[in-house]
Every structure is written in C-alpha cells, then in structure tokens.
Amino acid sequence: MIDRREFLTIAGLSGAAIFFNFNNILHATIKEEEKVMAYTAKDYSKLIGMEGFSETLLKNHFTLYQGYVTNTNKVLDTLGQMLKDGKTATPEFAELKRRLGWEFNGMRLHEYYFENLGGKKGGINKAGSLAKKMTEDFGSYEMWEKDFKAVGTMRGIGWAVLYQDSANGRLINFWINEHDVSHPAGCNPLLIMDVFEHAFMIDYGLKRADYVEAFFKNIDWSAVEAKIK
Ligand SMILES: [Fe+2]
C-alpha cells in the first residue's frame, strides 16, 4: 500500500480537500481490513452436558479458547499496524510473527476439537470410508485407535491429531507439541484431541487415559468422516 506522501506525489495534487479525502479513503480501507481480518469466537455451549465432561471444565475451556481468538485478532492487528508504520525490521515484529502461530493454532485447533465432539453413541461407522481407510493404513480400526490413544497419552502437553496426507491420502496420527510445532505440511486434520492439562485435569486429575476414553465416547464421527478426501 502506498503511504500518504507517495499518494500526494503520484497524484501531483495537494491541499486540504484532497488530504481530507485521502484520510477518508485510508480510514475506510483500514475499517474494511479490520472487518475482513477479525475472528469471532464460536459458541460451543451445546456441548455442555456431554457425558464425562463437567460443565466447569467445559466452561473453563471455552473461556480459554475465547482468549486465543482475542489474541489472534490483537496480534494480526498489531502486525498490520507495524507494516503500515514501517516497523517490520524490528525484533518486536519478528517476535509477534513467531507468536502468531501459537495464537492462531490455539484458536483453530480448539475449534476443530469442539467441532469433533458431541457425537451420538455408537462409534465409527465400520462400513464407512474413514474406517475402511484406517484398515488400509493401520490394519484395522482397532489398530488405528490403539495408535491414536498411545499418542494421546504420551507425556507432555499438546494435541493428538489424525491427519490425512493430501499427497497420497495416507492417514497418520501425529503428536503436535503445544499448538504450533510439528504440524505436517500439506496434510488435512481429521480428528483433533486436546491433551493439554486444562482439557482434563479438573475432571480427571492425572488420569489422562480416562479422559481419552471419555473423549472417544463423544467423538462426532460424522464430522470426522466429512473431512476425508
Ligand atoms: Fe485446550
């Protein structure tokens, strides 16, 4: 984007009227950008009442998620302003760019997580395309589940994610450290399980495996299957 001085030079014009009009255009442009860039926290309150998840735990988790949305907007707005102000070659800009992956993924992964919960009882459709693909890639649905649960009960904080490689369709369970480290490039996340302590400690203490069992009882398999390509 050209700055105010360049604009006046290019136009070969000066004066209060043009300056005023340009300010209006600039203001309108920023307002439009803000409208496009702002993220809004989604409402997942329908999950309250899910078996194995207390209302207190879920409400705390929703609040934490809302914080990621707020911070994603703040970081993006601040970076945008630094770009306009010519402050990109600064340590502050670099650190905020590093921070963006943390905040953005903290927002988006929580959305995926909440959206693949709240399913009806009955488990995966064994005749469906996802279960068939799991059998192809892991030997059976049960072997896939064993692998995913093993990832989810690893020591450390992060996420267990079933990814599908867009290049060849292969299913792979990944450990994602925190929010922003080790996402596989070019892969599509199908099933996302939060294994940060805040996701389970209020209800389960250190018994993470029990939380994983509760998570499995509430997976919305139709939402997961809809993502497979
Ligand atoms: Fe979380």
Per-residue pLDDT of the chain (229 residues; tens, 9 = 90+): 334 344 333 344 344 443 334 344 444 444 555 555 699 999 999 999 999 999 999 999 999 999 999 999 999 999 999 999 999 999 999 999 999 999 999 999 999 999 999 998 889 999 999 999 999 999 999 999 999 999 999 999 999 999 999 999 999 999 999 999 999 999 999 999 999 999 999 999 999 999 999 999 999 999 999 999 8
Distance CA 106, CA 120 (A): 26
Query: Is 96 part of a structural domain of the chain?
Result: no
List Cβ neighbours of 149 (8 Å cut-off, separation of 6 or more). Answer: 209, 212, 216
Q: Which pLDDT value is given to residue 121?
A: 80
How far from chain centre, in Å, is Cα 91? Answer: 26
Distance 81 CA to ligand 1 centre (A): 29
In this structure, what token pair is assigned to residue 61? 């988790």
Query: Is 74 part of a structural domain of the chain?
Result: no
Residue type, 1: M
Q: At what angle do helices 129-138 and 141-152 cross, to 10 degrees?
A: 80
Distance CA 187, CA 167 (A): 8
Q: How many domains does the chain have?
A: 2
- Nearest of 97, 93, 92, 101 to residue 68 by alpha carbon: 101
Structural domain of residue 158, as residue ranges?
129-225
Give the C-alpha distances (Å, rounded to integers) separating 36 from 29, 30, 77, 112.
11, 10, 11, 21
Distance 70 CA to ligand 1 centre (A): 15
Q: Judge whether 90 and 82 are in contact, CB under 8 Å.
A: yes
The residue whose two tokens read 């604009």 is 7
Print the SS3 string covering 185-198.
CCEEEEEEEECCHH
Query: Is 85 part of a structural domain of the chain?
Result: no
3-state class (DSSP) for residue 163: strand
Query: Is 93 part of a structural domain of the chain?
Result: no
Distance 61 CA to ligand 1 centre (A): 6
Q: Judge whether 147 and 138 are in contact, CB under 8 Å.
A: yes
- Model-level pTM? 0.83
Distance 198 CA to ligand 1 centre (A): 6
Query: Is 90 part of a structural domain of the chain?
Result: no
**CATH number where 181 lies:** 3.55.40.20
Q: Judge whether 73 and 116 are in contact, CB under 8 Å.
A: no
Distance 69 CA to ligand 1 centre (A): 13
Query: Is 209 part of a structural domain of the chain?
Result: yes
Distance 140 CA to ligand 1 centre (A): 29
Distance 112 CA to ligand 1 centre (A): 11
Query: Is 104 part of a structural domain of the chain?
Result: no
Q: Which pLDDT value is given to residue 36?
A: 58
List Cβ neighbours of 13 (8 Å cut-off, separation of 6 or more). Answer: none
Query: Is 62 part of a structural domain of the chain?
Result: no
Q: Judge whether 57 and 22 are in contact, CB under 8 Å.
A: no
